[in-house]
Structure 1
């Protein structure tokens, strides 16, 4: 049996597109569109969160001296503030359990909360790892500048950078990691890991 072309065209125009692809009518229903939108949103959130850089935070006793160390001596490139810090998705500093030994005497609850804002200095440590430098550490013994960190990996990366730049340093203790760095102006900076 042969169907003339004119009858075939009339047949095609009268049939909806969904009759050629099974399940197409449910795919473009309200429920189907909502499922597709939720799937697209889940993929977008997964991409956003997996591409967000890891952020290490160091509390310092003098931000300007820290700028001279990280930008000048260690030549760390400046980094943009990660987008997830704008939406309060930041990593916690563990400020509820800070030992008073490591915090300046006048640091109260309001300034601890202010220390977790995205302000401060931002540097690129590795491809997807950033260093966030904020004020808040107390001076060390002999009025030595202190840089305090709650993450050993962070201090190990800073120590590696110090060693690569052949900056004068002395490792005082392995666990918890504690080392001294001497900058161009003769300032001795203590880098200390603090268990959280």
Structure 2
């Protein structure tokens, strides 16, 4: 596995010359690389947990790593400074080692527009927190029955990590015996609310 020092030594010189903040963090949320702009403007330092200088960005990175979908740009603020538009992407540093690259573009915006964006993002994070804290197993699927989010309770119930489920279609999960039927799949076909009794491979049942 590549160390932080190795990663920084391989960073091209042009990354350090970029005038906007750029940083990379590992799977544990530890900052593995920062360009000078990120260090100066955001006080982001290599070896520090991202949540210390930028807790909102750390939450976004955590959600991004669990999701199969590209992360939409989101507004990040620090103190009373100007907001940044955060753009996240995955970078494979070496075999089996994937890190998250964060590019933050300064975005001056009208106060009303900024407040509406922050309110929307706060609501999104609140809904994500509710899903993750629920003791009931929850799958979030799109209109085609593709799994886009799995909460920790579902991981415990099915004894499968979210990474093995997110991004897959319910049809495929049924075919491999993960479950025998899917309310999400039927709802996507019937276009109406569906309740089902599902059978698990080990003999358990779910509603």
In which range does the TM-score fall when normalised by the shorter chain? under 0.3
Higher relative contact order (CA 8 A, sep 6+): 1
Question: Which structure has more helix as a fraction of its residues?
Answer: 1
TM-score (norm. length: structure 2): 0.25
TM-score (norm. length: structure 1): 0.26
